Structure 1
Amino acid sequence: MIDTVTGPVAQPFAAQLKALIDLEGRYQPKLSGLRFIESAQDNGLRMTSRLRELEVKDLLSLTRFFGFSSESFSLAVSLLDRFLSVMKIQPKHLSCVGLCCFYIAVKSTEEEKNVPLANDLIRISQNRFTVSDMMRMEKIIMEKLYWKVKAPTALRFLRVFHSHVLEQLDAESMKILSLERLEAQLKACHCSFVFSKIKPSLLALALLCFEAHDEHDPEHLDKISEALSNLQQQLNIKDGDVVCMRELIGKCLAEYATTKCCRPNVQRLRWTISGRTARQLKHSYYKITHLPTIPESAC
């Protein structure tokens, strides 16, 4: 039985944090599997970190194409990384694996009426496999992940941390930590393989610290830093780990801002659909864009 993602339940922060931390370790991708991918030569014979990054960027574009939520995308990335870390797949199967992880995430988080048919999803993403291929792959993925879908993603941690920190700030300081901007930054990080090896709680905290230290108003920075320091102590995370992660995030966002990164695979994003499918799609589906621009301000 699939354990689907449920909506946030009103409970004290300490209880939410404990529940998420208890689950976090159980849903981490297998580190040895990720290192195997990282060390692979890009010769078309083995799964590599570059291929994984391209697939995640395609999933992000699909997310925006259908207007799906950030939860769907983050969960799809979590499923993909978990599966890739336990199975040595061939590059030719990656698009099927990626789309299946995306489909599982969408069915777990979106309203049923908004979930597209598998056939339409295949056609819009311009893949060549069949619905039967996709259903078989979906079963393999779920079996290898023990039918466990409800992972505590970095997005979930980010939202819980953001809400908790804002409770400790005044109105002016609150404006600095824009959740929209933070979520956009997290999506950029998901597109980089290096963050697959990082615990979601550490990534979420480091993103908040990175954003806070990008603010130059000492008065507001002191208030936010104090709140984040208290949160870091609750998580028992070392200063060195946060500093190292902030540097990685800064490097990732700088690369993300380049033209090359924003257009990872232009040809793949030119979807071709039939007249029948076009008539079934919502108007918003035609707003195809590349990776979203991270907001410049915290307004």
Structure 2
Amino acid sequence: MQTDDRGVSLWCEETDEDYRDQAALGTGAPGGQLRAAWDPSVSGRRVIQRLLHVEERYAPSPLYVGLIQQEPQRREELAKWTLEVCCDCGCDEAVFPLSVSLMDRFLSVTLSTPVLPYCLAAACVLIASKLSECDNITSNALCAAAEYNFLPANLREMERVVLATLRWDTAAVTPQDFLPHFLASLGERNEEDSTTLRRHSDTLATLCACDSRFLGASPSLVAAASLNCAFRGLGNREHSRLHPLSSTLADLCQADPVVLQYYSEMIEHALRQRLSNRPADKGDEFEDERAGTPTDMREIDF
């Protein structure tokens, strides 16, 4: 930013070299994009209350939830494929949960799977990427990920169908929207601990997005339960501190502490199931262990 005798100029003089330096230091987003620093002024109870009010607007219908939970295979297959595509293409962490939310909301309205289901999942990834990233994923990359079972023209048409069905209301609230605000409200001052907790709880929230048993839970409850499991799974906090933390999380998401505990145990059970699906030489050692939180999504066999 330049300054002169007349005051402050808004002319920015960042160069490509500055962006490369940021990427080398690990302070930039994937692909060399720069991220804004966390602003404490946009956190706190007021923001959480607003998110809690808005999240109800994007909940799938109870009818859809009931139908999917009776036969969850196809929906979970699409969610796992969506996660694989987002990971392989290096998408921002916000893309996957928003993609699944868009897909669930579309299916909640139509109550029928389109002829090209993977085209629907890819269209939701494309929309979410456009909302969340500066350099969005391309239609050609999505077609290649689906082994060209559909063409870019099919993808663009499906994108228009999804947008029309949802009336262009696509900026849904996801569990990942709550996580930084919950962490800030808990007062975790150690930056390294906060980063680790955020990464682990994001992994668990992603696990929930792939599991249809959590489809009827609100994003705030999933976020609070994931963070609660992350606190317990890391094992670096005294037992006497865990109960107050759980109570605070229940208060933040406006849920009964018993309900929060129930969903936390559901997440741990789901995690144990995923870990037990590993190859036999690794699966046996996890069978009788208490659930922990892996470093990232790549350590869970989705």
TM-score (norm 1): 0.74
Q: Structure 2 stretches of 5 or more lacking a match? A: 1-35, 280-295
Q: What is residue 23 of structure 1 aligned with on the other side?
A: 54
Once residues 126 and 71 of structure 1 are traced to their aligned partners in structure 2, the CA distance between those partners, rounded to angstroms, is 24
Once residues 124 and 191 of structure 2 are traced to their aligned partners in structure 1, the CA distance between those partners, rounded to angstroms, is 40
Once residues 175 and 138 of structure 1 are traced to their aligned partners in structure 2, the CA distance between those partners, rounded to angstroms, is 37
Note the alpha carbon deviations across 1:112-152, whole angstroms, 9 max, x for none. 3xx23313321232132222221221111112212111111
Tell me which stretches of 4 or more aligned residues in structure 1 moved more than 6 Å. none
Q: What is residue 188 of structure 1 aligned with on the other side?
A: 207
C-alpha RMSD of matched pairs (Å): 2.8
Q: What is residue 225 of structure 1 aligned with on the other side?
A: 243
- What's the CA shift for 1:204? 0.9
- What's the CA shift for 1:182? 1.5
Q: Structure 1 stretches of 5 or more lacking a match? A: 1-6, 40-47, 262-289, 295-299
**Which protein has greater RCO, CA pairs closer than 8 Å, 6+ apart?**
1
Q: 1:58 to 1:235 in 2, by over 3 A?
A: closer
Q: What is residue 284 of structure 1 aligned with on the other side?
A: none
The alignment-based identity, stated in percent, is 23
Q: 1:137 to 1:229 in 2, by over 3 A?
A: same
Q: Determine whether 1:199 maps to 2:218.
A: yes
Select which of 167, 174, 178 maps to 1:146.
Answer: 167
- What's the CA shift for 1:245? 0.5
Report if the CA contact (8 A) 1:212-1:221 is conserved.
Answer: no
Q: Residue 36 of structure 1 aligns to a residue in which SS?
A: helix
Q: What is residue 136 of structure 1 aligned with on the other side?
A: 157
Note the alpha carbon deviations across 1:135-175, whole angstroms, 9 max, x for none. 2211111122121111110111122212221x2x4649947
Q: What is residue 299 of structure 2 aligned with on the other side?
A: 293
Q: What is residue 128 of structure 2 aligned with on the other side?
A: 105
Q: 1:224 to 1:38 in 2, by over 3 A?
A: closer
Structure of greater Rg = 2
Report if the CA contact (8 A) 1:173-1:223 is conserved.
Answer: no
Structure 1 residues 166-185: aligned runs within 5 Å: 167=187, 169=188, 171=190, 174=193, 178-185=197-204
Alignment length, in residue pairs? Answer: 248
Q: 1:12 to 1:110 in 2, by over 3 A?
A: closer
